[in-house]
Amino acid sequence: MHKDPFYKSLGYAISGIIHCIQKERNIKIHFLFMFLVVICGFIFHLSVMEWFICILLFALVISLELVNTAIEAVVDLCTHEIHPLAKTAKDTAAGAVLVSAMASVIVGLMIFIPKLFN
């Protein structure tokens, strides 16, 4: 198979992100929280290091949500029958998103709560 040029690969990646935003409710919720955090970040004048941490966590959660969607698609492609391995694949992928989202909430609270009291 021939290799696509860089701009084409970039286009496929962006269309994957757009597809996920259109089809998945959870990623819309993540983007909403990201938007709120960015607004709060400007209001509370986050430091460069705090922005750095927030951006890394945004990327982690969104990336895992994209991988979760990819795993769901592959499982559905393989079988529509109820199978314990299909359940394991989907539930563990969803678990990965949950772990990253929970860690992000905790870190977010650690950054913003002290600023609220200052």
Ligand X SMILES: Nc1ncnc2c1ncn2[C@@H]1O[C@H](COP(=O)(O)OP(=O)(O)OP(=O)(O)O)[C@@H](O)[C@H]1O
Least separation in angstroms between CB 82 and ligand X: 4
Q: Which of 57, 62, 65, 69 is catalytic?
A: 65
DSSP run (H or E) holding 25: helix 25-43
- Is 82 annotated as ligand-binding? yes
**Interacting residues with ligand X (CB under 6 A):** 24, 26, 68, 72, 79, 82-83, 86-87, 90-91, 94
Catalytic residue flag (residue 65): yes
Q: 26 vs 55, which CB is nearer to ligand X?
A: 26
Question: Any idea of the CA torsion for 61, 62, 68, 69, to the nearest 10 degrees?
Answer: 160
Q: Is 20 exposed, middle or buried (0-12, 13-18, 19+ CB in 10 A)?
A: buried
Q: Can you say which residues are annotated as belonging to the binding site?
A: 12, 24, 65, 72, 81-83, 90-91
Q: Can you say which residues are annotated as belonging to the binding site for a divalent metal cation?
A: 24, 72
